């Protein structure tokens, strides 16, 4: 029977690790992406599930409860392995009950995945782990029942007798209950700490103040040509127009915000990008060169759009920007396209007169709108300079979606 205990331990440890990644993803999506990918584009299927309204119970992420469950299973399996004897039957019963409850919950969660229309392979991996634990628990239960010569209710009756007759058994039961509550408390406390480290979240009053200020901003007449650099659904009811510099730090933050928003509002949001590099090499409207070589970065974006790989290149660019921002070069831009475009063709597209003209047209548009900082966003024709907290943008998008019904 020991090999099944060891299999349960391995599966529970794997499940705890995956659930831990999902907890990290719930509060720090960018951190989890550096550890394991769950979709290579702007929309992360695991993120869609992990940021949905179904991802929490009473403010606690389901993944945190999963961590608690797996740690409890590990604890029970280790006791069964070390204590052996009559503890096998009790451990088998507990493991059977816990794994059965987990699989039943997984069926409901799988139905939610179907409702959302996304496949989270990290979630599916925990489902597989739970099924494996249940299968091993069934074997342990049947074997221990056969060895003990009694059935489920007989085992419960025997355990009750042991508790009444033995002070050691009562002490062990008390310790187990205390450990279970302490484990749950520790996981929830750790989750709370992780939530606080995600940064201060605006309260309801701050969100209301932001919306009030936004709607007090005049609507500008934006008669913009279509941009070749668009994320999200072309038919979406809400459009964000973003004037960005591909090397600016705030635009890197906006990239992460875009991933969150596109994940949270699949099919309901469109983000149209317009280049406005803060580099006087190509932008006469820039007061000074804030980000040297950003003209080169913008040309790379237009080249990618011309070759039909802009979305992939956009992800590549910001995923590698941290290590090459200080020494950005045309060669670095070309290398970033490796594997998704022919390097020579990409270089030629970057240097083409069509790319230069396309960039200049968008710069002139930004100049006419008196863009002075990046990113500058337009939502519903109203201007927002910088990147508001994602909670505020979500409230604004919700309001825009409600108004479009």
- Which pLDDT score is estimated for 2? 79
- For residue 189, what pLDDT is reported? 82
> Which of 313, 351, 312 has the alpha carbon at shortest distance from 330?
351
Residues 154 and 82 in one domain: yes
Any residues with CB less than 8 A from the CB of 242 and at least 6 apart, and which? 254, 271, 272, 273, 274, 375, 376, 377, 378
Helix-, strand-, coil-residue percentages of the chain, each rounded to 5: 65, 10, 25
Identify the domain boundary among 182, 197, 212.
Answer: 197
Residue 227, CA distances (Å) to 34, 272, 273 in order: 30, 6, 7
- Dist. CA 72–CA 67, nearest whole Å: 9
Total number of domains in the chain = 2
Where a domain ends, among 135, 165, 197? Answer: 197
> 3-class DSSP state for residue 318?
helix
Q: Are residues 174 and 119 in the same domain?
A: yes
Predicted confidence at residue 265, as pLDDT, reads: 87
Domain end among 138, 164, 197 = 197
pLDDT at position 267 is: 87
Clarify whether residues 131 and 243 are in a common domain: no
Q: Can you give the pLDDT at residue 174?
A: 75
| Residue 305 shares a structural domain with residue 185 | no
The answer on 247 and 300 residing in a single domain is yes
Q: Who's near 124: CB < 8 A, 6+ residues apart?
A: none
Mean pLDDT in consecutive groups of 10 residues from the start of the chain, 405 residues: 87 93 76 59 72 76 89 88 68 89 92 80 91 92 68 59 60 75 82 71 90 95 93 94 94 89 88 97 94 95 96 89 78 91 95 96 96 96 94 94 87
Is residue 294 domain-shared with residue 316, that is, in the same domain? yes
At 105, phi and psi to the nearest 5?
Answer: -65, -35
Q: Within its chain, how far is the Cα of 310 from the centroid?
A: 22
For 405, the token pair is: 């019904």
Q: Are residues 392 and 374 in the same domain?
A: yes
- Residue 50: the pLDDT is 73
User: 234 — alpha (psi -120 to 50), left (phi > 0) or beta?
Assistant: alpha
CA 343 from chain center: how many Å?
A: 31
pLDDT at residue 250, as a whole number: 92
The first and second tokens of residue 89, run together, are 């039957």
**Looking at the structure, do residues 193 and 209 belong to the same domain, yes or no?**
no
Q: Check whether residue 224 and residue 262 sit in a common domain.
A: yes
Domain, as residue range, for 55:
2-197
Residues present in the chain in total = 405
CATH number for the domain harbouring residue 15: 1.20.1440.130
Three-state secondary structure call for residue 242: strand
Q: What is the pLDDT of residue 37?
A: 58
CATH value at residue 341: 3.40.30.10
Same domain? For 246 and 390 the reply is yes
Q: What is the DSSP letter of 342?
A: -
pLDDT reported for residue 277: 96
- Both 322 and 286 in a single domain? yes
pLDDT of residue 183: 83
CA dihedral (217, 220, 226, 231) in degrees, to 10, reads 0
Beta-sheet pairing, 376-379 with 382-385: antiparallel
The answer to whether residues 189 and 216 belong to one domain is no
Whether residue 253 contacts residue 388, with contact meaning beta carbons closer than 8 Å, is answered with no
């Amino acid at each position: 029977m020991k090999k099944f205990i060891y299999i349960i331990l391995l599966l529970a440890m794997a499940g705890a690790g995956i659930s831990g990644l999902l907890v990290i993803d719930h509060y720090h999506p960018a951190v989890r992406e550096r550890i394991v990918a769950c979709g290579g584009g702007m929309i992360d299927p695991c993120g869609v599930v992990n940021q949905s309204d179904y991802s929490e119970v009473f403010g606690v992420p389901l993944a945190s409860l999963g961590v608690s469950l797996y740690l409890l299973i590990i604890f029970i399996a280790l006791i069964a392995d070390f204590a052996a004897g009559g503890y096998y039957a009790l451990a088998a019963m507990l493991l059977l009950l816990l794994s059965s409850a987990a699989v039943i919950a997984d069926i409901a969660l799988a139905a939610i995945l179907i409702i959302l229309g996304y496949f989270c392979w990290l979630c599916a991996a925990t489902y597989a782990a739970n099924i494996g634990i249940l299968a091993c628990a069934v074997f342990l239960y049947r074997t221990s029942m056969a060895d003990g010569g009694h059935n489920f209710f007989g085992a419960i009756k025997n355990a009750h007798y042991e508790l009444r007759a033995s002070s050691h058994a009562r002490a062990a039961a008390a310790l187990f209950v205390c450990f279970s509550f302490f484990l749950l408390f520790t996981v929830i406390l750790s989750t709370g700490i992780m939530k606080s480290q995600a940064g201060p979240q605006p309260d309801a009053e701050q969100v209301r103040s932001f919306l009030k200020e936004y709607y007090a901003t005049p609507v500008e007449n934006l008669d913009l040509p279509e941009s070749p650099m668009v994320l999200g659904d072309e038919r979406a009811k809400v459009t964000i127009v973003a004037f960005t510099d591909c090397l600016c730090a705030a635009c890197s933050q906006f990239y992460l915000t875009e991933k969150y928003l596109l994940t949270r509002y699949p099919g309901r949001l469109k983000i149209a990008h317009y280049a406005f590099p803060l580099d006087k090499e190509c932008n006469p409207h820039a007061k000074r060169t804030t980000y040297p070589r950003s003209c080169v970065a913008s040309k790379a974006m237009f080249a990618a759009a011309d070759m039909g790989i802009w979305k992939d290149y956009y992800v590549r660019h910001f995923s590698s920007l941290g290590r090459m921002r200080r020494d950005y070069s045309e060669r670095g831009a070309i290398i970033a396209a490796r594997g998704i475009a022919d390097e020579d063709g990409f270089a030629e597209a970057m240097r083409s007169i069509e790319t230069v003209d396309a960039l200049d047209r968008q710069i002139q548009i930004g100049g006419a709108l008196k863009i002075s900082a990046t990113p500058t966003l337009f939502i519903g024709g109203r201007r927002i300079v910088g990147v508001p907290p994602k909670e505020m943008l979500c409230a604004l998008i919700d309001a825009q979606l409600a108004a479009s019904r």
